[in-house]
């Protein structure tokens, strides 16, 4: 289950009500035949709304279902994601219609540094090289791609399903026709972090009902997981050096390229432990201290409208003998995660009984050398600095404060929130 937009509409439009009804009909279907009939209607309705940029109608339906019918909410969320990250195209070949399917894929990159993590336009030679490696090591025979000429941060990705739908269709058309798209002239600025994700976005097209990825091909289907792992190893082996040119001064790890929303969610989860390691490395090197000289404070934060739901944990760092917060990181909760802990989705899930988020955070802090850890039991409303917008963190006494490096921090050190 994914959480909806924080905005809600007091009254449903006719379009939103139709989405609600179709989602509930799918949940109550008594057969696969009936279920698929309702699914086709829901797909058609969503395609019409996303094509015309009626995101508010989709959000209205998601918000009401999240409050009243979580099972149907999941149906609608799954469907709107599927519709916005896919497309079909029909062309005439020898007097008959040929249908092509397209899928928007994200290739996530985990990056960490003491300096800055780049974004922006990918040079033409690198774009060509990365596209060639992507095709050679990940695609099924006969599939085509178009790679966006931009290295995206999370702040520069499409913000709505309608924007995702538009990008999917633009890239799909380029892949189908062998064309290219232009890089965004003024991409939004991204906040500086010591560890963050970057994304390559790719549209894959193939004849309908044909495989898109290598591991879907008939000869690999019995051992698709092994083939998928081999494809990832080859992608990493061939593409890492080229991606490193885009991210100077960074440590990087390439993740498996997958359908857009799944890939983004997995990257969001996997960057969190790296954020802790990067923060401890940064503080020990910048302040000239050992990890054992640091203390961590963990507190849960949520929206003001909800009394019990924790949306994220914020981890503050202080010196052991001081209450001053010198740095902080945010550990957001995604999907079905909550303070009780739930399994991670996707191929990276390992344990059927995972640690709770708190215990996972503590384990990563311990691995980084921090043994002095305080848990604040109070649940806070997520607050931010009025001047710079940075999140506020709990100090050891439970007061929310701005994270500030000491005034005598060596000059030339990058300042991160």
> What is the 3-state secondary structure of the chain?
CCCCCCCCCCCCCHHHHHHHHHHHHHHHCCCHHHHHHHHHHHHHHHHHHHHCCCHHHHHHHHHHHHHHCHHHHHHHHHHHHHHHCEEEEEEEECCEEEEEEEEEEEEEEEEECCCCCCCEECCHHHHHHHHHHHHHHHECCCCEEEECCEEEEHHHCCCCHHHHHHHHHHHHHHHHHCCCCCCCCCCCCCCCCCEEEEEEEEEEEEECCCCCEHHHCHHHHHHHHHHHHHHHHHHHHHHHHHHHHHCCCCEEEECCCEEHHHHHHHHHHHHHHHHHHHHHHHHHHHHCCCHHHEEEEEEEEECCCCCCCCCEEEEEEEECCCCCEEEEEEEECCCCCCCCCCCCCCCCCCCCCCCCHHHHHHHHHHHCCCCEEEEEEEEEECCECCCCCCECEECCCCCEECCCCCCCCCCCCCCCC
Mind listing the pLDDT tens digit of every residue in the chain (417 residues)?
A: 455 555 544 578 999 999 999 999 999 999 999 999 999 999 999 999 999 999 999 999 999 999 999 999 999 999 999 999 999 988 877 778 889 999 999 999 999 998 889 999 999 999 999 999 999 999 999 999 999 999 999 989 999 999 999 999 999 999 998 888 888 777 777 777 899 999 999 999 999 999 999 999 999 989 999 999 999 999 999 999 999 999 999 999 999 999 999 999 999 999 999 999 999 999 999 999 999 999 999 999 988 755 668 899 999 999 999 999 999 999 999 866 665 554 444 444 444 556 789 999 999 999 999 999 999 988 999 888 888 778 999 999 999 999 988 877 765 444 444
Give the global pTM.
0.86
Instruction: Return the biggest CA–CA distance within the chain.
Output: 79
pLDDT at 6: 53
């Amino acid at each position: 289950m994914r959480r909806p937009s924080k905005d809600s509409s007091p009254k449903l439009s006719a379009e939103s009500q139709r989405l609600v009804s179709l989602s509930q009909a799918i949940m109550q279907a008594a057969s696969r035949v009936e279920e698929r009939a309702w699914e086709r209607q829901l797909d058609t309705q969503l395609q019409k709304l996303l094509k015309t940029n009626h995101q508010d109608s989709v959000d209205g339906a998601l918000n009401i279902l999240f409050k009243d019918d979580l099972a149907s909410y999941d149906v609608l969320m799954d469907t709107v994601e599927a519709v916005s990250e896919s497309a079909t195209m029909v062309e005439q070949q020898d007097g008959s219609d040929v249908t092509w399917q397209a899928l928007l894929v994200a290739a996530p990159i985990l990056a960490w540094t003491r300096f800055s993590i780049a974004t922006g336009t990918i040079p033409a030679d690198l774009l060509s090289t990365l596209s060639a490696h992507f095709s050679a090591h990940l695609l099924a025979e006969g599939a085509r791609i178009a790679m966006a000429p931009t290295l995206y941060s999370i702040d520069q990705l499409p913000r709505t399903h309608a924007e995702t739908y538009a990008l999917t269709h633009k890239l799909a058309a380029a892949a189908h026709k062998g064309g290219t798209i232009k890089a965004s002239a003024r991409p939004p600025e991204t906040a500086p972090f010591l560890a963050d994700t970057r994304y390559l976005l790719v549209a894959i097209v193939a004849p309908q009902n044909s495989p898109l990825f290598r591991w879907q091909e008939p000869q690999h289907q019995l051992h698709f997981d092994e083939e998928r792992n081999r494809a990832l190893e080859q992608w990493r082996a061939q593409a890492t050096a080229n991606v490193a040119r885009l991210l100077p001064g960074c440590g990087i790890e390439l993740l498996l390229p997958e359908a857009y929303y799944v890939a983004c969610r997995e990257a969001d989860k996997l960057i969190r432990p790296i954020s802790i390691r990067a923060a401890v490395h940064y503080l020990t090197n910048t302040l000239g201290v050992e990890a054992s000289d640091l203390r961590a404070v963990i507190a849960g934060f949520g929206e003001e409208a909800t009394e019990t739901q924790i949306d994220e944990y914020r981890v503050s760092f202080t010196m052991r003998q001081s209450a001053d917060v010198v740095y902080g990181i945010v550990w957001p909760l995604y999907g079905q995660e909550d303070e009780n802990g739930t399994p991670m989705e996707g191929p990276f899930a390992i344990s059927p009984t995972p640690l709770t988020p708190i215990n996972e955070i503590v384990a990563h802090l311990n691995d980084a050398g921090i043994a002095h850890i305080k848990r604040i039991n109070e649940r806070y409303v997520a607050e931010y600095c009025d001047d710079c917008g940075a999140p506020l963190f709990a100090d050891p006494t439970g007061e929310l404060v701005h994270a500030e490096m000491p005034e005598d921090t060596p000059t030339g050190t990058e300042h991160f929130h």
